Amino acid sequence: MGRRGQGEGSIYKRKDGRYAAAITVENRKRKTFYGKTRREVQEKLNSALHEREQGTLVTGQRQLIKSYLEQWVEQVYKPKVKPLTYQQCLSVIRSHLVPAFGHIPLQKLTPEKVQAVYAQKLKDGLAPRTIMRIHSVLRSALENAVRWNLVSRNIAKLVTLPRADRYEAQTLTVEQARILLETAQGSNMEALLLLAVTAGMRRGELLALRWNDVDFAKKVIYVRRTVGRIAGRGYVETEPKTRSSRRKIVLPDEVFEVLMMHREQQGQMCIKAGVKWQEHGLVFCNRYGEFMVDWWYTSAVFHKLLAKAGLPELRFHDLRHSMATILLAAGVHPKVVQERLGHSTITMTMDTYSHVLPSMQEDVARKLGEMFKGE
């Protein structure tokens, strides 16, 4: 065994000619460092002693990124999120992170490797927002790895993300919304589109709406749940993602008149389906009373109605944006719009619909001028 230098700790020369050093870590375990020269090992040892003193020394078991991600998503992430959110995260891991990094030891992952993968995905045509979702999962997973002392730092924080252009929603004016609803009158889409435009509910909230959520006497609709598709399990109901998403929406009489007719039409559907009908109390269902798994068909009908009405192309979700824009432009207080949309904060509402605010500011200036006109 080679002679130990002063302040080197237990540095020694192995039979294969390499040098090694070992220090004591948690629970009296030993962590060993290797190098071709005594100086190389000395540097590793000094760095480890400093990290141990700072509380950042990695002492956890070495493992591949694939096995770590599988452990993290099941033990840490899954218990604290909704099933749909967990499934989305799992999809990112299986489709992107494991193919790109799964074979790499967790402690060997570098910012350069991550940056190179993101650059290649951009080159392959992946949208910047998708890369941001991938990065969000990786960053959360590595943050937990730091807490578990498996890595000394979260290298995801050192990666530069591509710029994602903000999606500019296509919205309808009051007149355009009126034309769309008039075009949809008498169709099986009338009630669905009317609620989307006037209530501004999300698609999952509309699909999960039940008749016992509709109070015809008080003219109120209660949003109590949402539904989303999970691979291998079909459509699954969950509680709304945030507390503010659970809300009540007051609507005009005309909406409930259409809903009443829609319920009568649904009764005819039930009779026609006979024994195949599965009663779930859903307001919007397929011809057998179950969740509308054929949303692609509904979306196609929606786009045909837009074309028939001579209106511009837009997503179904843009009807929600249209409702918010119309209300804000009409001078409805943003706090009221926030509560109606189910946003968790008013900041989210203001950021999303900032394009409407300039006209509101001009209206405020006009009103101030009128208030302070002196005699």
Asked if the structure places residue 374 within a domain, the reply is no
Region of 200 on the Ramachandran plot (φ > 0 left; ψ -120 to 50 alpha; else beta): left
> Does 239 score more than 90 pLDDT?
no
Question: What do you get for the CA distance between the two ends of the chain, in Å?
Answer: 101
Q: What is the pLDDT of residue 25?
A: 65
> Does 140 score more than 90 pLDDT?
yes
Q: What is the pLDDT of residue 359?
A: 61
More confident residue, 110 or 164: 110
Asked if the structure places residue 331 within a domain, the reply is yes
Q: Model pTM?
A: 0.69
Alpha helices in the chain (DSSP H): 38-54, 65-72, 83-92, 98-101, 111-123, 128-147, 174-184, 190-199, 203-208, 253-273, 295-309, 318-329, 334-341, 346-352, 357-371
> Does 269 score more than 80 pLDDT?
yes
* Span of 16-20, 22-26, 300-304 with lowest mean pLDDT: 22-26
DSSP assignment of 117-158 equals HHHHHHHTT--HHHHHHHHHHHHHHHHHHHHTTSSSS-GGGG
The rounded mean pLDDT for the chain is 86
Domain co-membership, 35 together with 72? no
Asked if the structure places residue 169 within a domain, the reply is no
Domain co-membership, 111 together with 251? no
Q: How confident is the model over 165-183, as a mean pLDDT?
A: 87
Q: What is the pLDDT of residue 142?
A: 96
Domain co-membership, 122 together with 230? no
pLDDT band at 61 (very low <50, low <70, confident <90, very high): low
pLDDT band at 2 (very low <50, low <70, confident <90, very high): very low
> Does 253 score more than 50 pLDDT?
yes
Q: What is the pLDDT of residue 236?
A: 78
* Span of 109-118, 207-216, 280-289, 350-359 with lowest mean pLDDT: 350-359
Domain co-membership, 123 together with 208? no
Domain co-membership, 75 together with 128? yes
> Does 322 score more than 90 pLDDT?
yes
User: Which residues form the domain of 136?
Assistant: 65-158
* Of 326, 338, 334, residue with least CA distance to 361: 334
Q: How confident is the model over 226-241, as a mean pLDDT?
A: 75
Domain co-membership, 189 together with 295? yes
* Of 348, 305, 282, residue with least CA distance to 194: 305
pLDDT band at 296 (very low <50, low <70, confident <90, very high): confident
Domain co-membership, 122 together with 246? no
204 vs 124: CA distance, rounded Å: 31
Domain co-membership, 187 together with 335? yes
Q: What is the pLDDT of residue 367?
A: 73
What's the number of domains the chain is made of?
A: 3
Cα–Cα distance list, 218 to 47, 206, 215, 339 (Å): 69, 19, 6, 18
Domain co-membership, 110 together with 211? no
CATH label of the domain that carries residue 134: 1.10.150.130
Asked if the structure places residue 37 within a domain, the reply is yes
> Does 120 score more than 70 pLDDT?
yes
pLDDT band at 1 (very low <50, low <70, confident <90, very high): very low
89 vs 97: CA distance, rounded Å: 10
324 vs 167: CA distance, rounded Å: 16
Domain co-membership, 300 together with 245? yes
Instruction: Name the domain boundary from 111, 131, 158.
Output: 158
What are the phi and psi torsion angles at 37 (to 5°)?
-125, 160
Rg (CA), the chain: 29
Instruction: Name the domain boundary from 158, 187, 202.
Output: 158
Q: How confident is the model over 287-305, as a mean pLDDT?
A: 87
> Does 91 score more than 60 pLDDT?
yes
Domain co-membership, 74 together with 94? yes
More confident residue, 291 or 114: 114
280 vs 322: CA distance, rounded Å: 30
Domain co-membership, 216 together with 350? yes
Q: What is the pLDDT of residue 14?
A: 85
Share of the chain above pLDDT 70, in %: 87
